A = this chain, B = another copy of it.
Amino acid sequence: MDKIKHLKCSKCGKTYGEEQMYHCPICGTKGTLEVVFDLTFAKKELTKEYLVSHQNPNIWRYFPLLPLKDIKEEIPIQIGHSPLYKASRLESLLNIDNIYIKDEGRNPTASLKDRASAIGVHKALELDKEIICAASTGNAASSLSGFAACMGLKNYIFVPHTIPEGKLAQLLVFGSQVILVDGDYDQAFDFCIEAVNHFGWYNRSCAINPYLVDGKKTVAFEIIEQLNFKVPDKVIMSVGDGCSISGAWKGFKEFYELGLIDQLPVMVSVQAEGSNPVNRAYRNKNREFDYITPKTIADSISVGIPRNGYKALNTLNESKGRAIDVSDDDILQAMTVLARHTGVFGEPAGVTCFAGLLKLVKEGAIRKDETVALIVSGSGLKDVKSATMAVSRPKKIKPELEGLISYLDEVKE
């Protein structure tokens, strides 16, 4: 029995079989396809009893809901099963009864993207592709690079030549063939598609690959399991292209359809003010995205045109969601408040969701008795440079006790 019913265009709604490799042929790259599952199989396998009694700590436990035919040899790296923390010190600070932090920085390459790359790599192997590729300068690239290395799968990463040395180094350490494109990110992206068409490689990019979202949805499955099948009232996420929030929403919906939960959360999309196309379109009830050159410190969610915009809009519409914009200053402040109350150090895009929560609290838009889940999508170690902007350097003191005493007095410690 085939798990997948069909692939459905997120823009026009037309359905296709799996022979349609990437986007909708009518809508073009704007029409990313969504996998619609036949849940008969999952209903039998993924019962609450099964889940409670089988604790294999990775995303493969959800195999009946993953768009893979067979897994001959799982990626041996532990993917997913990131911890969910009840943040009691934050709860006191914000006067909310239940705040949970899903720390996606604990994934193998320290971001939520690992869930998507895992599917991408296995899909390439399933399709007998010898090469997988992507255009990215960020978390998607390093995660693809790491998993492909782990499986011995050749991979090409297209990056603009302006990529920071540190990010480039990671890809090279993992042994990726890096194509250093003499052009900007968009040129690297288009060049990657051109190369894929020519060489027949497999393209791992949430932008056009229909399957990766189904890796990301596992974050929702885990939240539900970790909350013992209770559903948070609000799930707050940082949003760029819209892939992650639509992934999580798909996860909640599928668990709902399986009867594992009896309600759905409200999805809250938090975007940087300087890069908020999804939120603008949602507020204006638009079905088109207008391009504004993105400008935000949160590089992982800095986008002009969101490449999974329709899926994100559908998510907000279906969940009666909320759209919150925050400034870069809000984001930097959120980074320190979160770290100081939970010990979770997130990258700017990772803590943007928390800046959104702080704004909701300020507006009185969260009731005390609500349960809130925040998905911190990436580790602060990914971008330590931005962290330097969130703090100020203390003054230098001589190694003498007297000086220390007066210094501590000065800083009121």
Contact = CB atoms under 8 A, between A and B. Distances in A.
Interface of A: 55, 57, 75-78, 83, 85-89, 106, 108-110, 146-147, 149-150, 152, 154, 156, 161, 165-170, 172-175, 177-183, 187-188, 190-191, 194-195, 198, 335-336, 339-345, 379-382, 384-385, 387-388, 390-399, 401, 404, 407-408, 411, 413
Given A89-B152, A345-B109, A411-B177, A399 B172 contact: no
Count the copies.
2
Contact of A149 (B55, B78, B343, B393): B343
A158 to B, nearest CB: 9
Contact of A183 (B179, B341, B399): B399
A360 to B, nearest CB: 23
Contacts of A340: 149, 173-175
Contact of A169 (B76, B194, B391, B411): B391
Nearest to A392: B172
A322 to B, nearest CB: 27
21 contacts: A57-B57, A76-B87, A77-B344, A109-B345, A110-B110, A149-B339, A150-B342, A156-B413, A166-B385, A167-B384, A169-B387, A169-B391, A170-B345, A172-B390, A173-B390, A175-B339, A177-B394, A180-B397, A182-B398, A191-B399, A194-B399
Given A150-B343, A154-B413, A388-B169, A394 B335 contact: no
A387 to B, nearest CB: 4
A402 B404 CA distance: 65
Contacts of A188: 399
Contact of A78 (B83, B339, B381): B83
A80 to B, nearest CB: 12
A404 B179 contact: yes
Contacts of A384: 166-167, 169-170
B396 A173 contact: no
Given A89-B150, A381-B382, 11 more contacts: A77-B83, A108-B343, A150-B341, A169-B388, A170-B345, A170-B387, A173-B336, A173-B391, A175-B340, A182-B396, A191-B404
A387 B188 CA distance: 24
Nearest to A190: B399
Given A152-B89, A340-B149, A388 B166 contact: yes
Given A55-B55, A77-B83, A387-B173, A149 B341 contact: yes
A345 B180 contact: no
Contacts of A181: 396-399
Most chain B CB within 10 A, of A76, A173, A178, A393, is at A173
A117 to B, nearest CB: 10
A195 B165 contact: no
Contact of A342 (B149, B179, B187, B345): B149
A174 B346 CA distance: 11
